[in-house]
Structure 1
């Protein structure tokens, strides 16, 4: 982080150099002296400093400047750095204007020119200003800042992407003071959010995920053109495959379209994972696995959408959405599953504005003291309910079944029963959502009686089943009717190998209908939908890959 700045502005070059020289001589070892020759140039410098998240301690402005005098400059500067101490440089003839400025711009001091000797006339004033500023400085910021609206779906998407990729950021509302200052510094209006300001001061307006990833330190471009192993999907299965592949010497790259961790990464707490008796959050588990893969030498690429898989002899080719390709000896498909969309009037329009798929943990603090609704009866819904119960006034779980026993682990059912502000509503389904700009009201139905009831709420989190993300595979590998990838024995219909199978052996247990392409985790047909089994399949896939490569 750069030293705090002392900014001087004077349109007279000789005076400007003189004041900057005197200030630098006394304070240059602790402060960065910024010199400007006009009010507008000084404001532009302040905007750049603001966007970089740095501090301004003192402003020294000459009164008599064309286009924008010193008082006008200081008034404008207050909107950018309200805590910076303000000193007006003025001649004796302008003393009345300087006195008036005390009321206009809350002037801290006016200094008569010339100020020689500076040891007697300049430095005592600046010392006093610096002492006052140090007592209540602007906060230096070295993290990404996001400015947006509370109920803006694009703003939520940016925050969710950063949170899921473990990028620290600060959330600022556009209609509050600091958010407004950043928008002003970037030359934007409140209607142009979200604005993302990176630690180096780069301003991104409504960025795409790929643009955002490239500016916050995430890797998006492969270092090589050919690998031993390409893993598609960075959930538990993909991370497991990447860790074991890289640790065993395979040139490994892990591709993820959105964020490492998959659905498990969104879980507030996983309590039945081996080795964590006190539980572990999905984000913590994901972070550890990600750092472990990187330590063993795996590459991890974010915001890379794979749109096609094809064979090229013994090489497996993957094509990205931008038309580029990556090649490897072997591939592990670990794309997991996504939550199904809930079909009801109003939900699509309010997604990201009170209606969320998955836990959306970034929203938990905003739910404080409010009624929230969760749709779903599996473990992910139960974990979210326990997490949100720490913030919300009441958490309502809506399930179609009569109770939770068929779909949720017993340890979670027991926890939910012990939490006073969680209420389970059996035989309930959402049939409509309403709101002006964000969710305000839900309509729910009892399918047995057809009875409709409504509830006022701004929060709905949906966890209803899962669909595999395999449309991009088309006919490259065999899939079942629901889209899950068939592997191993499931490919041997009536003892016959799959059509097009070219090897003199049967497919390995996790191998797909394309030799050298394996599936692990939730995307595989009839897999056990648990984090531990997904990690285990990722590791097992690497063991089978070694057998495959040795036979080539």
Structure 2
């Protein structure tokens, strides 16, 4: 039996008057097997229920409140509940006769982050649109709160470490449920006995299997899922090799594979890239309730696989030999292995810039994290955490962490967030009482006994320093291009971003004309997404650029090309 087997049943809380019973009936028919539906009918009972839930012994997955025609607004009630059940998703349900008059107010509340969704009360049986919204919301809660009942991959570890953080991040972003067990737990004792005396922690045990991995690298983890480069075959020549499996690479993979191109996608980490760490992307076309970066990457990956694309995860590209293969194909080197492609797409994106404070670098994986590190959310429950960065990723991380931490402070060197963050995120942050923005502030020091405990913050203008308690530091700063493996013949700007189209040096133009958009200085090599010089640095634009490369690949591969 795993620790998850003893977890209490999560709660769906229903509040209302005129339509409370109707909402309870609808939810009971679908969700009563997995959730306890509680619907107090009097104010005294409501106070009693809320007092009980406030202890946290039973997690609240969803709080659904009726849109009252008179009296206190439902959004105000939900805002009060947020203080003691912040991880719960907040829903306002609206009867049809009140819907028109509620829309303007509810839209404003959504924009300010005071609720997660509003829905019209179903008017008949099998309202699948209603239930799709509820199911997606409950799924999002379970995933973000790490509240899974699945006995997935077991990780045996003796405490926080950089390797444990890396492994959990890889598994989480690949959508693989996992639980951590101490070496002296029943699961830990059994796994260590099976692994033998030479096992190194963290130790992984695949679900329902005796398959064990001792402190696996990302390449080891990726090989379990997708195989190794040697599995592609030494004689194979792909039509398109995509380096980087973020939105740009996935966008290209879906369109290329769907149009019959032999497509291979390689990434040094899990599928999804930097966007895969985003807890909730709300401005991506077609997802009005938002979608996590992990789920977006999963869906794109499934699409690409359906069309025949192949993946290599956890495999670091070390070099590119231009036109060095048979028939002038390009050779992508991966350490001691290589794969070949008639065309190559560079879609490696960017990495977060290192903070450069040595005592904090020593605590990476022990409270200090580069990126959102959603797997650490529950570890900072009721503690103070800090997010460094002013972009959308930092804003999304802060909103997500506010569901768990006592308080989240965003540190930015600029005067504020307006120049670098989307308006919808700024409004949500401003309306969240658990988040504070501290401008013109940098981190200069920090430490702790085996785990982050404190930080030193410096005011950029006055130079004054302050020591603060901190259980978590999330660094989402800057953009470092990740294409050091490219040869000089692929032109880059002074910062290392790849040049394409009219931005390429005029000396490389053919017949006085620049290359096509997304085409680099080398025929058959393309670039898309954040790694491209001048890119928009947004998920939607990156996936669009990736798709836009595919017609250029077709034209290059055409028999009469050139």
Asked if Structure 1 and Structure 2 have the same fold, meaning a TM-score greater than 0.5 normalized by the shorter chain, the answer is yes
- Equivalent of 1:522 in 523, 526, 530: 530
The SS at the match of 1:424 is strand
Residue 245 of structure 1 deviates from its aligned partner by 0.5
Q: Does 2:301 align with 1:296?
A: no
1:391 alignment counterpart = 404
Given that 2:221 and 2:314 are in contact with CA atoms closer than 8 Å, whether structure 1 keeps it comes out as: no
Query: TM-score, normalised on structure 1?
Result: 0.70
1:341-392 Cα distance to aligned partner (Å, 9 max, x none): 0012311111111100000000111111111110011110000000010111
Q: Does 2:289 align with 1:281?
A: no
- Equivalent of 2:365 in 334, 352, 355: 352
1:2-58 Cα distance to aligned partner (Å, 9 max, x none): xxxxxxxxxxxxxxxxxxxxxxxxxxxxxxxxxxxxxxxxxxxxxxxxxxxxxxxxx
1:426 alignment counterpart = 439
Name which of structure 1's ranges 516-525 and 308-317 shifts more when overlaid on structure 2: 308-317
Query: TM-score, normalised on structure 2?
Result: 0.69
- Equivalent of 2:178 in 156, 161, 169: 169
The SS at the match of 2:329 is strand
Partners of 1:474 and 1:455 in 2: CA distance = 45
Name which of structure 1's ranges 447-456 and 163-172 shifts more when overlaid on structure 2: 163-172
1:44 alignment counterpart = none
- Equivalent of 1:159 in 152, 168, 178: 168
1:207-247 Cα distance to aligned partner (Å, 9 max, x none): 222223333x3333343420111111000000001111111
The SS at the match of 1:294 is helix
1:540 alignment counterpart = 548
Partners of 1:335 and 1:312 in 2: CA distance = 20
Q: Does 2:323 align with 1:312?
A: yes
The SS at the match of 1:312 is coil
Residues 1:441 and 1:410: Cα distance change in structure 2 (over 3 Å):
same
Residue 506 of structure 1 deviates from its aligned partner by 3.4
Residue 185 of structure 1 deviates from its aligned partner by 4.7
1:428-459 Cα distance to aligned partner (Å, 9 max, x none): 10000111211111111002111110112221
Residues 1:322 and 1:403: Cα distance change in structure 2 (over 3 Å):
closer
Residue 320 of structure 1 deviates from its aligned partner by 2.5
Partners of 2:342 and 2:511 in 1: CA distance = 15
2:413 alignment counterpart = 400
1:440-494 Cα distance to aligned partner (Å, 9 max, x none): 11111002111110112221000101111011113130000000000010114xx
Q: Does 2:458 align with 1:445?
A: yes
Choose 1 or 2 for highest CA Rg.
Answer: 1
Following superposition of structure 1 onto structure 2, how do residues 348-497 of structure 1 map, counting pairs within 5 Å? 348-492=361-505, 496-497=506-507
Partners of 2:513 and 2:443 in 1: CA distance = 50
Q: Does 2:279 align with 1:268?
A: yes
Q: Does 2:192 align with 1:179?
A: no
Partners of 1:372 and 1:404 in 2: CA distance = 18
Q: CA RMSD in A?
A: 2.0
Gaps of 5+ in 2: 1-148
Partners of 1:259 and 1:192 in 2: CA distance = 22
- Runs ≥4 in structure 1, deviation > 4 angstroms? 501-505
* Count of residues in correspondence between the two structures: 406
1:525-544 Cα distance to aligned partner (Å, 9 max, x none): 00111001001100111111
Residues 1:185 and 1:229: Cα distance change in structure 2 (over 3 Å):
closer
